Structure 1
Amino acid sequence: MTDDWREIEIPGRERDLGDGFMVRRVLPFAKRRLVGPFVFFDEMGPANFAPGQGLDVRPHPHIGLATVTYLFEGEILHRDSLGSVQTIQPGAVNWMTAGRGIAHSERTPDDARRNGQRLHGIQTWIALPRAQEKHEPAFIHHPADRLPQASQDGVVLRVIAGEAFGLVSPVAVFSPTLYVAIEMAAGATLEVPPEYKERGVYPVSGELEINDTPCPVGHLQVLTPGSRVTLRAAGATQALLLGGDSLEGQRHIWWNFVASEPEMIEQAKADWRNQHFDPVPGETEFIPLPE
């Protein structure tokens, strides 16, 4: 088969977040800023933390987006300026709506820090529609057992957010959203429905083919709108399916801020610089505004 199913392939680029903790950054990309409402996509790890070591992302701000954390291995402790304190574990979802502004931190929980842990997961930002950009900030945790799951013919699907394959996630989204975790046994196949305008497939591990074309791990395959594609696992495979309807107008991104108008980002810069964001209870540190 030809590869007319593929609009663009986006390779993950390695970034060091500090202390040697590496991520693979996929979005934003110069030639493709968003896929559906997804404006940012990082794969964290896999990273092995020795006893006494851990992740320490100090309090920092967001506007105009929802952050979504989904883990394959390990634990992260979330704290935010609403007073939320929540440990996320594999298969669960932490969904934080920044809206008009929120601050949060992400750290390794005490037990995992004492014992050491392997951490592997995905962090994404979902840009909010214009009408919801100044939504009241909110945080909600969805345990793994609340996410709908289906298994058939060597394929396990878990719908993280939105609706797909006849399953509806309990995560409240602001625009039509596609976000599905896929596990495939060797030889298994899966037809990807074409109803969402923008779709991407991200192989996390294993050996994935799309319409008989091998697709490397860590590269996002953005599918041609309306194309019918078949995923095939040449070996045991993990992948993510993401996308949704495109948003109205462009989005500006600066540091941790996303907005439809540059003026909103300038205001957020000033607010963080002047400490007008609510603080994160239990935290005394913060990440200064980049200058």
Structure 2
Amino acid sequence: MVDIVIQARDAAIIEAIKVKRILPFRLHRMVGPFIFMDHAGPVLNTPPIVSSLDVLPHPHIGLSTVSYLFGGQVVHRDSTGVEQIIRPGEVNWMTAGSGISHSERFEDPAALAEGKLEMIQTWVALPEKDEESAPTFNNYTPDQLPIFTDKGVWMRLIAGNAYGLGNHVKTNSPLFYLHVVLEQGARFGLPIEHTERSFYIVKGSVELSGVTYPAGQMLVFTKGVDPVILARENSTLMMLGGEPLGERFIWWNFVSSRKERIEQAKEDWKQGRIVLPPTDNKEFTPLPDDRYGAPPKPEPLS
């Protein structure tokens, strides 16, 4: 019934921020157009210097980043001039296209207190025709996102289409992305209209066909498999998927259907051709090298 179970792995965005990395996974690189997924927090131990959590300006090409908070807040600044405080329940959709840089700053100590900060960030690959589109950023508030409730079920549609629901979050290919909260004993199913489907267990545990799956796992399904999800306890899920886009290459923060485009992006960042955010341009993240002193090769995702 389950195509594959992906166990989140420990990773670090920067030294002070440890995350659970779900995608990409070596045995299943993408789910629909989703190529990357990190679960950060809850941050239980706030460092004495809050700015040590900051993610300095860094570049992207060929993808959209989607930031979704359960708690806390983050200040986003990007090279298009946008400055946006990201708050829980909002959808913050940044399309890199031909190239963008942005930072994520933690400027309110109160938003970090008592383990409040917790977020999911996903990357959505762009269709080839949109890989060189102009960069954009859009913020969607919770009142713009439809909510469905039933006995023991609460669900917010973050983006795309599912269960007959849609919203005005701009996407570039067919997909769905949902925040689902289940009470103990509640039953729920995956949307049936998409080719590739999955859910990640943020909190709690669920049962499928007599097997219990704990928090920190992603379950992936193909079309035609329609599992019944039983919440073994109060649980939070992120459901996502859609239509596959074909092979993609990924290196650091760059995604493309062409290896040579990633090589160009490396040089563009080194030479300053991807500009810094105008209100956050005093520091930046340098292009990484691997432990042998040479940048890692672009890795295909399909």
The TM-score range, normalised by the shorter chain, is over 0.9
1:174-202 per-position Cα deviation (integer Å, ceiling 9, x unaligned)? 00011000001111111223221000111
Q: Match of 2:240?
A: 242
Partner of 1:254: 251
Match of 1:174 in 2: 172
State how 1:131-142 maps to structure 2 within 5 Å: 131-142=129-140
Kindly report which structure 2 residues correspond to 1:195-206, keeping only aligned pairs within 5 A, or say none: 195-206=193-204
Q: Deviations over 1:89-132 (max 9, x none)?
A: 11101100000000000011345479676211100100000111
Residue of structure 1 equivalent to 2:128: 130
- Which amino acid in 1 is paired with 2:270? R
Answer yes or no: is the 8 Å Cα contact 2:50–2:107 preserved in 1. Answer: no
One-letter amino acid matched to 1:268:
A
Deviates more, 1:234-243 or 1:50-59: 50-59
Q: Distance between the aligned counterparts of 1:115 and 1:72, measured in 2?
A: 14
Q: Which of 181, 188, 211 in structure 2 is aligned with 1:183?
A: 181
Instruction: Work out whether 1:46 is the aligned partner of 2:47.
Output: no
Residue 92 of structure 2 is aligned with which of 88, 91, 94?
Answer: 94
Instruction: Please name the residue that 2:260 is paired with.
Output: 263
3-state secondary structure, aligned to 2:184: coil
Partner of 1:78: 76
Which secondary structure does the structure 2 equivalent of 1:158 belong to? strand
Which residue number in structure 2 is paired with residue 7 of structure 1? 3
Deviations 1:1-36 (A, max 9, x none): xxxx21111110001233442100011111111100
Q: Distance in 2 between matches of 1:195 and 1:137?
A: 29
Counterpart of 2:269 in structure 1 is 272
Asked whether the equivalents of residues 53 and 116 of structure 1 are also in contact (C-alpha less than 8 Å), the reply is: no
- Asked if structure 2 preserves the Cα contact closer than 8 Å seen for 1:87 and 1:109, the reply is no
Tell me by how many angstroms 1:165 deviates: 1.4
C-alpha root-mean-square deviation of aligned residues, in Å?
1.6
**Would the aligned equivalents of 1:67 and 1:124 in 2 still touch at CA under 8 Å?**
yes
Report the counterpart of residue 283 of structure 2 in structure 1.
285
The answer as to whether partners of 1:52 and 1:115 remain within 8 angstroms in 2 is no
Given that 2:42 and 2:115 are in contact with CA atoms closer than 8 Å, whether structure 1 keeps it comes out as no
Post-superposition offset of 1:212: 3.2
Match of 2:213 in 1: 215
- Structure 1 residues 114 and 190, CA gap change in structure 2 (3 angstroms): closer
- Percent of residue pairs identical: 45
Q: Which runs of 5+ in 1 are unaligned?
A: none
Which stretches in structure 2 are left out of the alignment for 5+ residues? 290-302
Tell me the amino acid that sits aligned with residue 63 of structure 1.
I
**Local SS of the residue matching 2:268:** helix
Amino acid at match of 1:276: R
Please tell me whether the aligned partners of residues 154 and 188 of structure 1 are also in contact (alpha carbons under 8 angstroms): yes
Query: What residue is the counterpart of 1:33 in the other structure?
Result: 29
Moved beyond 4 Å, runs of 4+: 113-117
In the TM superposition, what is the alpha-carbon distance from 1:82 to its structure 2 partner? 0.5
- Shift of the alpha carbon at 1:74? 0.8
TM-score where L is the length of structure 1: 0.94
Residue aligning to 1:106:
104
Relative to its length, the structure with more strand (as a share) is: 1
In 2, the alpha carbon distance for the partners of 1:71 and 1:95 equals 12
SS at match of 1:6: coil
Amino acid at match of 1:36: G
Residue pair 1:66, 1:96 contacting (<8 A) in 2 also: yes
TM superposition shift of 1:152? 0.5
Question: How far apart, CA to CA, are the structure 2 residues paired with 1:251 and 1:133?
Answer: 11
Hey, what does 2:296 align to over in structure 1?
Answer: none
What is the aligned length? 286
Q: What is residue 230 of structure 1 aligned with on the other side?
A: 228
Q: Distance in 2 between matches of 1:233 and 1:150?
A: 17
Judge conservation of contact 1:53–1:113 (CA < 8 Å) in 2: no
- 8 A contact 2:111–2:117 mirrored in 1: no
The equivalent position to 1:17 in structure 2, one of 7, 13, 19, is 13
Work out whether residues 75 and 112 of structure 1, in 8 Å CA contact, stay in contact via their aligned partners in 2: no
C-alpha contact 1:51 1:113 (8 A) present in aligned 2: no
